[in-house]
């Protein structure tokens, strides 16, 4: 089955100079994909012509406006109905595309996607989910910033959505789910965490229990569930640590002629290390819980990184992630315990 992905071609720090080359590279690897590039039609067509693009599998959809990277989400939603971001999401709503990808303003993308597509039945709020590398492969972590405060039921919904995403993308049956907490014991955490742990335990998911921050990179579980405040802090801390380690390595290997010589000898190992930790390979965060697939690319990524975001959208569409999430939530919805029905310890 052919899959069509709508691309917000104007979004991100660079826009067309990243999205168009990435789109062409992506098409060359997937003969079953068509793309809709949304934005300034004249500028897009000029960039496509200069890049010798396969026009037979690309359609250009004009949009007169662009959402700024620092624009207030509610203002973008209210005032820019013809933005490349919104028109791309409309392609999914109208059934023209199976997924949309944007490197634009995260808050505006979430607000627009939620307004246009709505949430799935049984899902209170969409969550931002991302595959993060660890010592065993990858783990899905959610929420990473969409919901600062969450109820126990919403954390359970995140667990269900994350489990289905890992099943579809990682081809894992019954992936393990952990709740991010300040300790592994059941008595740790605030009241919301304790109640969420009880709900997850009784959910039928492969619930491991509480996990701590270091478990994300140990690969202790396949899915790490948390609220958006904690998840975003963990994500940004991880990004900062990665940049610091890279800077330290550069400093030490360029400190003297001897360390430069050592660096040359260690170059094969350093290249493999860089490839394994290259954030571009993990670019693409899913806005889970919506009635359509929307993937957020990092605004400052290059063509390689944006191509991985396109890959994420493609795999979600090909695996019917939305259908699997909807079915799993519907199965659970009549069996969930309310917070006042859960015994606290």
* Domains of the chain, residue spans: 1-120+289-344, 124-288
Q: Output the CA–CA distances (angstroms, integers) from residue 117 to 95, 209, 212, 289, in the order listed.
A: 11, 33, 34, 10
Residue 272 burial by CB count (10 A; 0-12/13-18/19+): exposed, middle or buried?
exposed
> For position 301, what pLDDT does the model report?
92
Cα(50)–Cα(44) distance, integer angstroms: 10
Structure tokens given for 318: 């090909």
Residue 335: how many CB atoms within 10 A of its CB? Answer: 9
The answer to whether 143 and 127 have CB atoms below 8 angstroms apart is yes
CB atoms within 10 A of CB 323: 12
The CATH architecture of the domain made up of 124-288 is 3-Layer(aba) Sandwich (3.40)
Domains 1-120+289-344 and 124-288 share a fold: yes
What's the average pLDDT block by block, 10 residues per block, for the chain (345 residues)? 93 93 94 95 93 88 94 93 96 96 94 95 93 91 92 95 89 91 90 94 93 94 96 91 89 91 90 84 93 95 95 94 89 60 46
Computed on alpha carbons and rounded to an integer, the radius of gyration of the chain in Å comes to 21
- Do residues 286 and 129 make contact, with C-beta atoms less than 8 angstroms apart? yes
Our CA angle for 198, 126, 322, nearest 5°, is: 95
The whole-model pTM stands at: 0.89
What's residue 61's pLDDT?
96
pLDDT at 187: 87
Residue 287: CB atoms within 10 A of its CB come to 24
Q: Is 269 helix (H, G, I), strand (E, B) or coil?
A: helix
Predicted local distance difference test score (pLDDT) of residue 339: 45
Give the Cα separation of 23 and 6 in Å (integer). Answer: 10
Residue 336, pLDDT score: 54
Do residues 145 and 235 lie in contact, with contact meaning Cβ atoms separated by under 8 Å? yes
The answer to whether residues 4 and 94 touch, using CB atoms and an 8 Å cutoff, is no
- Please, which residues bridge with residue 296 across strands? 102, 285
**How many whole angstroms separate alpha carbon 290 and alpha carbon 156?**
16
pLDDT score at 140: 94
Give strand pairing partners of 5. Answer: 35, 99
What backbone phi and psi angles, to 5 degrees, belong to 285?
-110, 135
Give the separation between CA 248 and CA 90, rounded to whole angstroms: 45
Q: Which residue has the tokens 């899902």?
A: 123
Contact 117, 93 (CB under 8 A): yes
Task: Please give the Cα distance from 180 to 129 (Å, whole number).
Answer: 14
Topology given in CATH for the domain delimited by 1-120+289-344 = Isopropylmalate Dehydrogenase (3.40.718)
3-state class (DSSP) for residue 95: coil
Q: What SS3 class is residue 239? A: helix
What's the DSSP call for residue 11? -
């Amino acid at each position: 089955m052919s899959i069509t992905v709508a691309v917000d071609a104007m979004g991100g720090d660079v826009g067309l100079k990243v999205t168009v080359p990435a789109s062409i590279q992506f098409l060359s690897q997937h003969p079953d994909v068509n793309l809709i590039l949304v934005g300034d039609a004249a500028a897009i067509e000029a960039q496509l012509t200069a890049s010798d693009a396969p026009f037979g599998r690309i359609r250009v959809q004009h949009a007169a406006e662009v959402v700024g990277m620092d624009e207030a989400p509610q203002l973008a939603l209210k005032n820019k109905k013809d933005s490349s971001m919104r028109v791309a999401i409309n392609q999914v709503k109208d059934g023209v595309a199976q997924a949309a990808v944007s490197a634009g303003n995260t808050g505006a993308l979430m607000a627009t996607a939620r307004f246009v597509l709505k949430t799935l039945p049984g899902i209170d709020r969409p969550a931002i989910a991302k595959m993060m590398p660890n010592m065993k492969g990858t783990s899905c972590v959610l929420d990473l910033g969409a919901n600062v405060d969450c109820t126990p039921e919403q954390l359970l919904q995140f667990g269900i959505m994350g489990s289905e995403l890992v099943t579809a993308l990682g081809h894992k049956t019954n992936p393990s789910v952990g709740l991010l907490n300040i300790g592994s014991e059941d008595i740790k955490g605030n009241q919301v965490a304790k109640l969420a742990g009880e709900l997850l335990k009784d959910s039928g998911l492969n619930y491991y229990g509480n996990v701590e921050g270091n478990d994300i990179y140990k690969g202790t579980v396949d899915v790490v569930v948390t609220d958006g405040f904690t998840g975003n802090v963990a994500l940004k801390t991880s990004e900062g640590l990665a940049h610091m380690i890279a800077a330290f390595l550069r400093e030490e290997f360029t400190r003297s002629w001897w360390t430069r010589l050592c660096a040359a000898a260690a170059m094969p190992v350093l290249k493999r290390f860089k490839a394994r930790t290259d954030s571009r390979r993990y670019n693409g965060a899913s806005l889970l819980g919506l009635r359509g697939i929307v993937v957020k690319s990092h605004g400052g990524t290059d063509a390689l990184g944006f191509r991985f975001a396109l890959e994420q959208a493609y795999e979600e569409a090909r695996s019917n992630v939305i259908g699997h999430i909807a079915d799993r939530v519907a199965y659970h919805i009549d069996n969930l315990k309310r917070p006042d029905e859960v015994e606290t310890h």
